[in-house]
Structure 1
Amino acid sequence: MATCKSSSRTGLDSWQSRKSLSECLRHSLENKMFTDVTFKVGREQKCVQAHRLIVSIRSGVFEAMFYGPLAEQDEVVIPEVEHDIFEQFLRYLYTDDVTMDGASVMGLLYVSKKYDVKTLEQKCLAYLSSSMTPDNACVILEQAHVFDEQELKEKALSFILENGYGALKSSGVTDLCHECLVKIIQAEELEVDEQAVFEAVVAWSESACRKQNKDVTDENRRQVIGEVIKHVRFPLLDQKYFAKNVVPTNLLTDAEKVKILTHWICPNENVSPFNANKRTGIIRQEKIIIQRLAGLCGFGCSCSSGADHGIMFSVNQNASLQGFQLYGPYDRPTAHYDARAFITDPTTDDVIEGSSVTKSVSVAAGTTTYDVEFPRPLKLSKDKKYNLLVNINGPKSLYGKSDRSTVQDGSFVCSFFNCQKSKHSNKLNRYTDVDEGQIPGLMFLV
């Protein structure tokens, strides 16, 4: 039986006297006062006490449950809703107050739909719509599909297509159902290269085998992938990557491999069911390398991990930053460098999400520069300034000089400024400014 407990205090100094209605309701819920129903929630069936009348006023499902012809008894078991989620849900029913985050919003959306609390449901949907990132977009798409929320589903799909690199490299891609995976992989507008598409399909296939209690074998992975495989545009892959990374997975039959190989040799040969055309999201992206430093200096630049190299830059149109270049060794036949980098927003000094990269590289003599790419291209806003900070650990490197603070390639213009200090970095290397230093080039997709 649920408990009934009241205060022994009366009059002006009672607990009710200085509280609003919502405060009184919260107090009665938190202190289990006058409760008459117990919910057993979660796998552990923890007890949560509440008031039939209050929850029934907020939910027609509860009204039917407690006051309808088939009214339930004093205990209600809800094993699929975790204890903390149900407590947040009750708090909303009593006070209209809810604090949700990425960890709780899906649970709150489920329970609000289960008990037909439209106001909370809309809050959850609004939160998901406004807090979409490359890391959670696949999860949101799948949940929108499960709950048949068409508007949110379309928005999540559009977001994924525009942020293909981050979305397909996120852990959430393995949460997708087969139908949602197909919608993404087959889309012409997907802004991503086929290597990322293939790797996402491999990760998804391994997860799908485990979910279906199947051994992760080549045969089972191909079986669970099904029609998804034909939407990977294998003819667009680099041939060395295909040989080293695709062939060993055995996801393609021998006949399919021969068909792709034949197409590379004779491009007019039919490669069906595979598509050999670039996706429209990739066609409009042109790679541009902006060289900010025009000439080399005659002596080496220190590459100590105790100091950072950096440059501030802005571009005159929306673009993506694919990576940057660093100088090779100054006076050694070969050299090994460990480079760590990230980008900050100079106005807030916050590190921009997805901008952290670490690269270890052995550079041969005569190599003037080497490339460092971010895990995915970073979207840049027109005329906004960005700080690129790079920590390089290794022997002395070459470094350059130039008097150019603006570099133009066609209609694309990149402007450079002295790097701004950041709380996230060490002191700046003395060679770091607009006129000289490391970071000779930036690689953009426009």
Structure 2
Amino acid sequence: MTTRKRPRLSQWGSVKSWQREESITQCLRYSLQKKVLTDVTFKVGREQKSVQAHRLIISIRSGVFEAMFYGLLAEQGEIVIPEVEHDIFEQFLRYLYTDDVTMDGASVMGLLYVSKKYDVKTLEQKCLAYLSSSMTSDDACVILEQAHVFGEQELKEKALTFILENGDAVLKSSGVTDLCHECLVKIIQAEELETDEQSVFEAVVAWSESACRKQNKGITHENRRQVIGEAIKLVRFPTFDQKYFVKNVVPTNLLSDTEKLKILAHCVCPDENVSPFNGKKRIGVIRQEKIIIQRFTIKDNYCCTFFTDKDYGIIFSINQGASLLGFQLYGPYKRTTSNYDVRAFITDPTTDDVIEGSSVTKSVLVAAGTTTYDVEFPRPLKLSKDKRYNLIVNIKGPNSRCGGSDRSAVKNGSFVCSFFKCQESKHGNKLCSWTDVDVGQIPGLMFLV
């Protein structure tokens, strides 16, 4: 039974209230910390530590908790959560009560798991934003793997891009051994991977030994080859220095005698067929410059009202091939922190068909005083020279700033982006007149050139 603490009496006999002159957040924080009027107990972590909370409060924040406590099969006793560590669950509850959370590399994965488990989308987004912005060579593989497990495609793409760009350092990190086979293959098959091929091979060897341990198999060359499978053929052995191949690859016995002879024959006579191995060096990441094309020169003289489910858009074209990273939108007109739900996609103006890979849907928390904020597509979109594209954005949220000018074309060096009046779209209502060539939303486009 949960013990309820009585309020203390002052020396004059009146109740000394902890609620007096406190904000609701402070009262909720106090009630959680001091276990005031709690009515549910969780047994958390491997040690089954007790954590007390309030059914009503956490049910207000989570539909999962609401179903758990007030549904047809409502839980009555203690709730056992063995897979979530005690300190993570306490941080999670503090967020439910106060919207306050302090995360770091040690806690973010646990918080992401528990926010998904109990469907707390706002905390989930904070975790994903933290992971996306704080990636390092040491934890990029762990983030890739967790994004893969949780089905977070956008974060997965960002982690993979980071790994490819920082391949040598990432492959030498201990995080490689945390990858599943599918994610390992995704990395080592990439043409854009920035590393020397010896690092690829050494990472595969380390991964194979770890996989054997995880599967309770002896670390023999047969077992290592078995856990790696066909992925061993993604290592570009024909590009190795012959001395390294003989001294370091051959002794591992990860290749059959036939495979070794084929690779050595190719090294001596490059015209010899080395299939299924690839005899060409990787191209590495092609370095591109990020360019932001600003449509407007006047940023703060207008105020737009967003209508629910109205599409805003602009047609544009570029004078050379490039990739579109994303676009910019204006922040709140009033200097307050605001939340915007953004849905965007690109269509072909001639057919109105949505271009594959161009869809993005996200909720964005915009800080007070922010003039513009960025929205990125899951991956850069390759665009063709002189072809017109119709960017359509649906925005739900408070009134925002708008821009104005008369810039039908914007030049950055030799790169030119031209803008054209938008048109009706079968994907939504008639496009708002505020978004035009010379006035409206969508103040910037972000390119890799």
* Cα separation, 2, equivalents of 1:233 and 1:244: 16
Q: Which residue of 1 aligns with 2:103?
A: 100
Provide TM-score, normalisation by structure 1: 0.62
Q: Which amino acid aligns with 2:5?
A: K
Q: Which residue of 1 aligns with 2:241?
A: 238
- Asked if the contact 2:8–2:15 (Cα under 8 Å) also holds between the matched residues in 1, the reply is no
Q: Which residue of 2 aligns with 1:2?
A: 2
Over the matched positions of the two proteins, sequence identity in percent amounts to: 81
Cα offset, 1:282, TM superposition: 7.3
* Cα separation, 1, equivalents of 2:153 and 2:2: 40
Deviations 1:55-79 (A, max 9, x none): 0000000000001110001310000
- Asked if the contact 2:9–2:15 (Cα under 8 Å) also holds between the matched residues in 1, the reply is no
* Cα separation, 2, equivalents of 1:78 and 1:181: 31
Cα offset, 1:164, TM superposition: 0.1
* Cα separation, 1, equivalents of 2:81 and 2:235: 42
1:159 lines up with 2:165 in the alignment:
no
Deviations 1:254-286 (A, max 9, x none): 0000000000111011101110111110798xx
1:91 lines up with 2:101 in the alignment:
no
SS at match of 2:125: helix
* Cα separation, 1, equivalents of 2:66 and 2:168: 47
SS at match of 1:280: coil
Q: Which residue of 2 aligns with 1:187?
A: 190
Q: Which amino acid aligns with 2:2?
A: A
Structure 1: where are the runs of 5+ without partners? 285-446
Q: Which residue of 2 aligns with 1:438?
A: none
Q: Which residue of 2 aligns with 1:221?
A: 224
* Cα separation, 2, equivalents of 1:24 and 1:18: 10
* Cα separation, 1, equivalents of 2:243 and 2:140: 31
Q: Which residue of 1 aligns with 2:204?
A: 201
Which 4+ residue blocks in structure 1 deviate beyond 2 angstroms?
A: 1-6, 8-13
- Asked if the contact 1:5–1:33 (Cα under 8 Å) also holds between the matched residues in 2, the reply is yes
- Asked if the contact 1:189–1:281 (Cα under 8 Å) also holds between the matched residues in 2, the reply is yes
Q: Which residue of 1 aligns with 2:447?
A: none
Q: Which residue of 2 aligns with 1:140?
A: 143
Q: Which residue of 2 aligns with 1:76?
A: 79
Q: Which residue of 2 aligns with 1:40?
A: 43
Cα offset, 1:13, TM superposition: 4.4
Q: Which residue of 2 aligns with 1:436?
A: none
1:176 lines up with 2:179 in the alignment:
yes
- Asked if the contact 1:174–1:204 (Cα under 8 Å) also holds between the matched residues in 2, the reply is yes
- Asked if the contact 2:7–2:16 (Cα under 8 Å) also holds between the matched residues in 1, the reply is no
Cα offset, 1:227, TM superposition: 1.7
- Asked if the contact 1:3–1:36 (Cα under 8 Å) also holds between the matched residues in 2, the reply is no
Alignment root-mean-square deviation, CA = 1.4
Q: Which residue of 2 aligns with 1:21?
A: 24
- Asked if the contact 1:144–1:150 (Cα under 8 Å) also holds between the matched residues in 2, the reply is yes
SS at match of 2:284: helix
Q: Which residue of 2 aligns with 1:279?
A: 282
1:111 lines up with 2:114 in the alignment:
yes
Q: Which amino acid aligns with 2:93?
A: L
* Cα separation, 1, equivalents of 2:6 and 2:157: 50
* Cα separation, 2, equivalents of 1:2 and 1:150: 43
- Asked if the contact 2:8–2:16 (Cα under 8 Å) also holds between the matched residues in 1, the reply is no
User: Mapping of 1:29-428 within 5 angstroms?
Assistant: 29-281=32-284
Q: Which amino acid aligns with 1:8?
A: R
Deviations 1:109-129 (A, max 9, x none): 000000000000000000000
1:40–1:233 Cα change, 3 Å: same
1:68–1:98 Cα change, 3 Å: same
* Cα separation, 1, equivalents of 2:3 and 2:66: 20
Cα offset, 1:7, TM superposition: 1.7
Deviations 1:277-333 (A, max 9, x none): 11110798xxxxxxxxxxxxxxxxxxxxxxxxxxxxxxxxxxxxxxxxxxxxxxxxx
How many residues align structurally? 284
- Asked if the contact 1:48–1:87 (Cα under 8 Å) also holds between the matched residues in 2, the reply is yes
- Asked if the contact 2:239–2:281 (Cα under 8 Å) also holds between the matched residues in 1, the reply is yes
Q: Which amino acid aligns with 2:85?
A: E
Cα offset, 1:6, TM superposition: 3.4
* Cα separation, 2, equivalents of 1:241 and 1:143: 34
* Cα separation, 2, equivalents of 1:114 and 1:67: 18
